[in-house]
Amino acid sequence: MRQYTSTVSETLAYYNEEVANYKTVSSKKAFLTRSRKAVEEYRDDLARAYGMSVRMLHGERVNRIDILMAVTEIKIINNIYNTL
């Protein structure tokens, strides 16, 4: 997984650059699958923390935008995966 950036275009550029490092379609899809699973786990952690009264995860406050950013990243990964 990676650190979140502030824009969708930066996220898209990151994954396109990473996918370009792999030669075969199967290795590209494997990378995207690993990335998607990591982001899904992080999103689930964020959602769980958001539902708690303190709304903290690893010492940082969780906001709804954090969850939405994770969901957007999953959609970007899925779009790239489907184009391969």
**3-state helix/strand/coil string of 33-74:** HHHHHHHHHHHHHHHHHHCCCCCEECCEECCHHHHHHHHHHH
The residues spanned by each domain of the chain are 8-83
Can you tell me whether residue 5 is helix, strand or coil? coil
Give the integer Cα–Cα distance in Å for 60 and 83.
Answer: 35
The model's confidence at residue 14, banded by pLDDT at 50, 70 and 90, is very high
pTM summary value:
0.89
- Answer yes or no: is pLDDT of 3 > 80: no
